[in-house]
Structure 1
Amino acid sequence: MKVEKQLENTVTYTSEEAYEESLRYFKGDDLAARVWVNKYALKDSYGNIYEASPDDMHKRIAAELARIETRYPNPMTEVEIFELIRNFKYIIPQGSPMTGIGNPYQIASLSNCFVIGHDGSGDSYGGIMKIDQEQVQLMKRRGGVGHDLSHIRPKGSPVKNSALTSTGIVPFMERYSNSTREVAQDGRRGALMLSVSIKHPDAEDFINAKMEQGKVTGANVSVRIDDAFMKAVESGDRYVQQYPVDAADPVTRKEMDPSALWKKIIHNAWRSAEPGILFWDTIIRESVPDCYADLGFKTVSTNPCGEIPLCPYDSCRLLAINLLSYVEEPFSQSAWFNWDLFKKHIHAAQRLMDDIIDLELEKIDGIILKINQDPEDEELKRTELNLWLNIKDKAEQGRRTGIGITAEGDMLAAMGMRYGSDEGSEFAIEVHKVLAIAAYRASVYAAKERGAFPIFDVEREKNNPFILRLKEADPELYFEMLTHGRRNIALLTIAPTGTTSLMSQTSSGIEPVFMPVYKRRRKVNPNDKDARVDFVDEVGDSWEEYVVFHHRFKHWMEVNGHDLTKNYDQNELDELVKLSPYYKATSNDVDYLKKVKMQGEIQKWVDHSISVTINMPNDVTEELVGELYLAAWKAGCKGVTVYRDGSRSGVLISNEPKEQEEVHSEGVIFPTERPAILEADVVRFQNNKDKWIAFIGLIDGKPYEIFTGFSDDEDGILIPRWANDGFIIKSREADGSSRYDFQYKNKRGHKTTIEGLSYKFNPEYWNYAKLISSTLRHGMAIEKVVELINSLQLDESINTWKNGVARALKRYVPDGTEAKRQKCQNCNSTNLMYQEGCLTCKDCGSSKCG
């Protein structure tokens, strides 16, 4: 076992020094430089930075991989490895490996993704709490986590404790979501996927859980849909839900109409981009690891992005191959794809991925050593210790890898093919077929030199559809696998490449990630956020997309001899764009059904899964979304997620206001006369040592009015901590004046009413609250209301109240809303947006929720 020691006598850099050096490395790209320094540069807990640019990072990674290589025959040298990964050109280790390899300052895993769960039944508070702790323990080590809730008893089931009946799945969704938000604070990693079987009687409640504003905000949710459900939707037959979902003799059984639930799934996905769909029978049928299900490799859920279906305690490290770099003479009439170099590098990439498993095992040994040395009682450490022992066992037994690709769209454009065309789809499918065959051959060669994964058994795999597909495509490869085995239980995926893709755009000369959305035009230099006039481009919906298209289109112009110094007018630029291979390849141009069919064909050559979101315009119909999901299932996709432009911002309602109604700026229709009863959220917060409470009246999930003050006021706002919602009821006193009451239901369903909210709080608070409520009712955008509140010049005695009101209302600002006139406290960027009520910097990723 190797335990890394902290580096001695090494040079350190200030944040500004690292930024300036990285800015030179990225050829002046401010965004890429800041992302690298803030997320990936080697640093310790005291803020000391040990790397000045990605060159230093890549040397660190190459040195560690070369050290592992010396354990095996025919080792690659450090120089060879460095040349493969430098400048993000060919092979790109993804987030966790890039951050953690050779890092002596963090005790963290190299795995990007984990799934946790129980070998048997986990339907007890002990099992639920164990999963909760394991989730937190993994997230604090930077891992994204997925787990399935199908093992939890449905709502109303008898239980042998004082509650008498089960609450069902939804309260535990909120528990796991809150744990994620807790561990992910201050910009730390903490992504979560919750899944459930469509066969579970609580599936509809699960599907609806995130539709309530502010609920389950710390998790992605996906439904495991089986073939029987899809066939019943098509035929109009009945479908049976049951618990346990896999039992031959279930305790609970419910026959239902699947079409209604299917429409609910489609509506919610159309409305809010969730739930995602996992076509579970396809996943299990195609899964090579599930040939070893009885040995602990039964797939139960996926990682947060859905591209790695996993068994409990298995994990995966990710690496991407930059497809654009294999196009010789790109964007020219002579462009060609270098298949020989591509295959050679696939072999190297699979070998390096196997090395990363050895590095991960060292990291896990370091984590286990730390846990054993921690001063806490052994009883307190037991769950965490067993968690990592289980993860180590799965890594040793399966040696799972996750090779993927990036820049597929740009590869096609550089070859002169349009993304979404028949020609482009055929070429992309061939690329993935070659990738699959070459990666599996590399794993067979590694088994010959290093040994097969310990539980490899050719008899178990002989009827697996994916293996049979490889056998048909390359019989020689299959014969070699019979002889030598395979080094890794599963190898391939297509994951979102995130910020690592953004960084590679200027370091390698061309942007290698295809983001085919450009809708508006700006006259700005992409490195000048003060909008200095420089070059006119067609651009996307975000700063990142703008930077991407600038570099991509500019390079195409250079290759094709267009004068970059000329001051083009808009008509000239429009004509130039029409000549480029990106024209008519935007997300709104691509035929959606063709895209899912292409995904299904590519899926045949990916043994894990594909993380793909189908982007659709705002005016797309629910019916088309439903057609898309059915087509994806029939095409053999393992999962699909639809994102309709603007769907994260809430329900869009008819633009034609009804009589006596006002249209809120976000599309919600507010009545000019207050309804007698409003749904309400209860928000508790603390400023300094003072505890506050707010009652926020809602219409269509949007704030309409607010009452707030001290929660322990002498008059008493005595409601239990678990009461988070209820109703605000407008009533009349005997003298004709109005008052506002709050009503909630206790755990037995009985109504409890607190009369006179307006009398419970300090009169000055009440007067200001009426003013704020007036701005809400008359349609001022919620982020503008928050800005207004923050700008109020009030006495010091009321500032605490003002800050609390702003905090309470921030949670209702639609995700993605730009924050004006504010700066990031981490990097001073003004490129901020609201995300789940927090101010998030789009440049460095830091988040402030206070």
Structure 2
Amino acid sequence: EDVFCRIASFVASQETTKIKQKKWAEAFYKDLYEGYWMPGGRVLAGAGDLYRLKTLANCFVTRIEDDDIESIYKAAAECARTYSYGGGIGVDITPLRPRGSVVHNAADTSTGAVSFMELYSMTTGLIGQSGRRGALMLTIDIKHPDIFHFLSVKKSPNWVSQQIVEQCRWSGKFDEYQLDLIKKQVVENTQIRFANISVKVTDEFMKAVKEEKLYGRDRIIIYRKKNKQRLMRAYQKDGYFYSLGIPNKDIRDYEELKVFDSYALFSQWMEDQFGKTVSQVDLKDAMKRDVYGDYLVDTEDENEELAIHFTGDFLLYFGSDETNEVRELVKARDVWDTFIESNYRTAEPGLMFWTKMSRYSPSNYVGRPIICTNPCAEVPLEDGGACNLGSVNLARFVKNGFMDSASVDWENLEKAVYNLVRFLDNVVSWNQVLNPLEKQRDAAGETRRLGVGIMGIADMLYQLKIPYDSPEGVALMDKVMQFINSQAYLASSRLAREKAPSDIFEYEDYANGPFFQEALPDEVKEHIRHHGLRNIAITSIAPTGTISNIIRGVSVGRKNYIGVSGGVEPVFALFYTRRAESFDNQFFKVFHASVQAYIDMFELTDKVAKVETEEELRKFLPDSFFRTAHHISPERRIEIQSVCQKYVDHSISSTINLPEDIEPEVISNIYLKAWEKGLKGVTVYRDGSRFPILTADSKPSEFQAFKDKKFEVEAGREKRVFFGDEVMRMPDGTLTTPFHYFRALGIKNNQDIEVV
């Protein structure tokens, strides 16, 4: 209660009169006490504490201004100052020239963009935040020539890691199996240790990946290009930097025309249809392609031309006055497979669909284009921008929960959304004073970004007895998200009428954004047209990993249950087992809060006391309770997230957990489907992709027993040794491992296989 009082009174002090301050302090306190919503952790920790320098924003983004040493270290200093105030930060390294580029100093050539990741990582690890480190996200554009190096930076051992392993080998105390384990631990714990990394993937790249999957490699494909503006080079200019400026094609301007199996067939068709001849040498020359990797041929239509390339072609590109052009023509599938392999082995890098993020970012239409995301990736931001998070607890907005008459409390939900928007807007006003850097304080005042999200959606569905992944459940999520988004935008417009709209809001420009056009009802658009918006972007779904565990959840009578499901996620498990703090090795079950509420409400405690598995609970709990994280297919999770994404102007941080023995091709298909369904990003985590701190299993699984074996694989004249869990590409393009290959053949006992 004291914490809520401190937070409510401090945030309400931004109101303009004493009467309003008292009114809103009471309203904020009531909502916090009732668990209707909760702000992000920085607000909980810092609001009202003026004795220490603290920001109330969770995370920021900073820009590397130029491709020079001063800008690189200036960004590192900005990271350090941000960490000292309690914030996390995202940095995009795309503006930095690739490895081997010319530099005009003693070095002659650059060490590349990726080499500076260690600088930002170590800066993060050195600045403490109350016993923990800050959070850092490093990103790069998929088109950057250093992309292969970036994808492998947490997988391939660097010089330091190699030296440690070699010293262990030299000691003679370890066999090869132990040395492999040491190498994995050393790489994970020393290389870019204090950063998460993600790739900014474009529609251009994803189209090239799908193109090769569909047609195979090196067939000739022709597109009709509708927009006849040629871009043969794209040098970096003052104020135009590569986190924005690496050229990526708009695939909506390209219509597939024809695919040819051979150059002869292609050449004959071009001669017959257009009277044109294209030399095979020219077609293969990367320097004769435009910056999108296409060989262009004029047609009689002045508004169209032909864009020709080999299936799967993708042009890595960097250009500036200092480096001139750096071009490398690669296959998109090779980049993609390298990404999947690294993600499978180390759970990184992550992936964000940057075309969708940029196109649907409201701030891009009012002169504040996004350049990177916060560390959790749910808020893409401009330089100096910050995520200002707060989440509505949907578990608290059900009337007559668990009963046949249960229903959503729409009236109170509307009030709660308005109060949260006003609360977070006041937090922005405080951040205009409390943010550590001047550009962060300025950005707060310009965009006034909010991050209104949700938690407890699974608990709401439990109380309504609707399965999470059922058609009814997805339909309700659609309705709830549409309602919250509409009410949040309406609340911001009402605040604009009362206080003032954002300084950079211009209706004509803002209304060009597809999110505004597609996600808001007409009456809200009309209100915004008349009164403007106080906040340029408003909604975001964060993981809520901390606040979802401490907020009030379901109530039964006068008893309150603490904790709800996080973000848009389903319940992870109905119960888990904990060991008592005594030394008698006793264990007890801890049920998810809403499950425990149901058990108490219907007096089932004695009946579930001896239950050992979730399956045994089916006799006592509704079927809808059993749609937990591991019972919902990844494909269905993607579909559900895509429904919610329609009503979120920022992004959604969500994780799909997969078993250790999942095949790499499954991970590839998950990411491809996420792009096809219009997601802005998704996280895939495979058990075992990080080195475990502790393990309680005395007996290894079939996969664990197999994965450390070595197998010699022949491919034509070449032979290569693979570990049992190492990613291989099959002739048909499928990504698999020796374990999955032999299992598909029906061979499960690895003792029957010849091992190197």
Amino acid in the other structure paired with 1:69 = E
TM-score by length of 1: 0.63
Which of 620, 624, 628 is the equivalent residue of 2:666? 624
Q: Name the residue aligned to 2:221.
A: none
Structure 1 residues 478-493: aligned runs within 5 Å: 478-493=525-540
Partner AA of 1:227 in structure 2: D
Cα distance in 2 between the residues matched to 1:572 and 1:132 = 49
CA displacement at 1:391 relative to structure 2: 1.2
Deviation at 1:420, TM superposition (A): 2.0
TM (norm. structure 2) is: 0.70
Report the counterpart of residue 598 of structure 1 in structure 2: 640
Aligned to 1:360: 431
Bigger mean CA offset, 579-588 vs 194-203? 579-588
1:230 correspondence with 2:230 = no
How far is 1:210 from its partner?
1.0
| Residue 155 of structure 2 corresponds to residue 208 of structure 1 | no
User: How much does 1:451 deviate?
Assistant: 0.6
SS in 1 for 2:563: coil
Matched, 1:475 2:522: yes
Query: Which residue among 296, 305, 327 is the counterpart of 1:253?
Result: 327
Kept after mapping to 1: 8 A contact 2:433/2:441: no
Instruction: State whether residues 99 and 112 of structure 2, in contact with CA within 8 Å, keep that contact through their aligned partners in structure 1.
Output: yes
Name the aligned partner's letter for residue 345 of structure 2.
R
Q: Partner of 2:248 in structure 1?
A: none
Conservation of the 8 A alpha-carbon contact between 1:332 and 1:559: no
Instruction: Look up the SS of the partner of 2:534 in the other structure.
Output: coil
CA distance in 2, matches of 1:328, 1:531: 43
Q: CA deviation at 1:559?
A: 2.3
Q: 1:486: Cα distance to partner?
A: 0.4
Report the 3-state secondary structure (helix = DSSP H, G, I; strand = E; otherwise coil) of the residue aligned with 1:195.
strand
1:339, CA displacement in angstroms?
Answer: 0.9
Aligned to 1:194: 138
Partners of 1:578 and 1:270 lie apart in 2 by 38
Matches within 5 A, 1:323-334: 323-334=394-405
Cα distance in structure 1, aligned partners of 2:626 and 2:101: 54
SS at match of 2:2: helix
Q: CA offset at residue 477 of structure 1?
A: 1.3
In 1, Cα distance between equivalents of 2:614 and 2:360: 50
Residues 359, 221 of structure 1: alpha-carbon distance in 2 compared, 3 angstrom cutoff: same
Q: Which residue of 2 aligns with 1:337?
A: 408
Residues 140, 189 of structure 1: 8 Å contact kept: no
Q: Distance in 2 between matches of 1:290 and 1:670?
A: 51
**Equivalent residue, structure 2, for 1:101:** 47
**Corresponding position of 1:589:** 631
In structure 2, the partner of 1:84 is 31
Aligned counterpart for 2:14 among listed residues 68, 71, 74: 68
For residue 518 of structure 1, the aligned residue among 564, 567, 573 is 573
Q: Say if 1:185 and 1:215 are closer, same or farther in 2 by CA, change over 3 A.
A: farther
**Superposed displacement of residue 421, structure 1:** 2.1
| CA distance, structure 2, for counterparts of residue 56 and residue 117 of structure 1 | 39
CA distance, structure 1, for counterparts of residue 447 and residue 488 of structure 2: 16
C-alpha deviation, 1:70, in angstroms: 3.9
Aligned AA (2:384) = Y
- Assess, with a 3 A threshold, how the Cα gap between structure 1 residues 347 and 517 changes in structure 2: closer, same or farther: closer
- Distance in 2, matches of 1:531 and 1:404, equals 43
C-alpha distance 310-276 of structure 1, shift in aligned 2 (>3 A):
same
CA–CA distance in structure 2, aligned partners of residues 566 and 598 of structure 1? 31
Shift of 1:587: 2.2
Which residue type is aligned with residue 565 of structure 2?
A: V
Aligned to 1:321: 392
Aligned length: 564
| Residue in 1 that maps onto 2:382 | 311
1:597-746 to structure 2, matched below 5 A, reads 597-649=639-691, 668-669=708-709
Determine the C-alpha separation between the residues in 2 that align with 1:510 and 1:312.
38
Task: Output one character per residue of 1:203-253: Cα deviation in whole Å (capped at 9) or x when no partner.
Answer: 1111110114131111000000010100011112201110049x9x96111
Amino acid at match of 2:443: K
8 Å contact kept, 1:412–1:424: yes
The C-alpha deviation readout for 1:325-380, integer Å capped at 9, x for no partner, is 0012222322211011101110111011111111222324xx6xxxxxxxxxxxxx
Shift of the alpha carbon at 1:583? 4.3
Q: Is the 8 A contact 1:314 1:394 kept in 2?
A: yes
Aligned to 2:456: 407
Contact 1:201 1:254 in 2 (8 A): yes
Q: Does 1:284 align with 2:358?
A: yes
Query: Gaps spanning 5+ residues in structure 2: where?
Result: 158-186, 213-310, 554-558, 693-702, 712-722, 726-756
* Aligned with residue 441 of structure 2, among 384, 388, 392: 392
- Distance in 1 of aligned mates of 2:639 and 2:91: 28
Distance 1:553 1:531, change over 3 A: farther
Q: Does the 8 Å CA contact 2:453/2:539 hold for their aligned counterparts? A: yes
SS in 2 for 1:210: coil
Indicate which of 504, 508, 528 corresponds to 1:459. Answer: 508
Partners in 1 of 2:614 and 2:327 — Cα distance? 66
CA shift, 1:513, in A, is 1.9
- Higher RCO (Cα < 8 Å, 6 or more apart): 2
1:243 equivalent among 310, 318, 343:
318
Separation in 1, partners of 2:134, 2:608:
47
Shift of 1:148: 0.3
Give per-residue Cα distances to partners, 1:232-286, cap 9 Å, x unaligned: 11112201110049x9x96111111010110111121122211111101000110
User: 1: CA distance between counterparts of 2:619 and 2:538?
Assistant: 39
Instruction: Tell me, in whole angstroms, the C-alpha distance in 2 between the residues paired with 1:588 and 1:421.
Output: 15
Indicate conservation of the 8 Å contact 2:125/2:133, yes or no.
no
CA distance in 2, matches of 1:327, 1:446: 28
For 1:579-622, what per-residue CA distance to the aligned partner results, in whole angstroms no more than 9, with x for missing partners? 34564423221021121122122111000000011111222211
Which shifted more, 612-621 or 132-141? Answer: 612-621
Matched-pair contact (CA < 8 Å) for 2:604–2:620: no
Shift of the alpha carbon at 1:113? 1.1
Distance 1:284 1:639, change over 3 A: same
8 Å Cα contact 1:144-1:189 kept in structure 2: no
How many Å apart are 1:550 and its aligned residue? 4.6
- CA RMSD for the aligned pairs? 2.9
Residues 151-208 of structure 1 deviation map (CA, whole Å, 9 limit, x = unaligned)? 0100100100000001112221111111111114762340000000000000111111
| Residues 797-844 of structure 1, C-alpha deviations (whole Å, 9 max, x = no match) | xxxxxxxxxxxxxxxxxxxxxxxxxxxxxxxxxxxxxxxxxxxxxxxx
Describe the superposition over 1:526-550 as per-residue Cα deviations: whole angstroms up to 9, x where unpaired: xx56577585x4xxxxxxxxx4x35
Change (3 A) 1:141 1:622: same
| Separation of aligned partners in 1, 2:194 and 2:531 | 45
Aligned to 1:725: none
Whole-Å separation in 1 of the counterparts to 2:403 and 2:329: 60
Could you report, residue by residue, the CA deviation over 1:699-746 in whole angstroms, capped at 9, with x for unpaired residues? 999xxxxxxxxxxxxxxxxxxxxxxxxxxxxxxxxxxxxxxxxxxxxx
Amino acid corresponding to residue 641 of structure 1 in structure 2: T
Distance 1:664-1:557 versus aligned 2 partners, 3 A rule? closer
Identify if the C-alpha distance between structure 1 residues 325 and 185 changes in structure 2 by more than 3 Å, giving closer, same or farther.
Answer: closer
**Alignment deviations for residues 611-646 of structure 1 (CA, whole Å, 9 cap, x no partner):** 011111222211111111111111110011100122
- Amino acid of the residue matched to residue 590 of structure 1? I
Give CA-to-partner distance per residue, 1:417-469, whole Å, 9 cap, x none: 12222221221121111111000000000000001001110111222111001
Shift of 1:108: 1.1
Cα distance in 1 for partners of 2:134, 2:578 equals 37
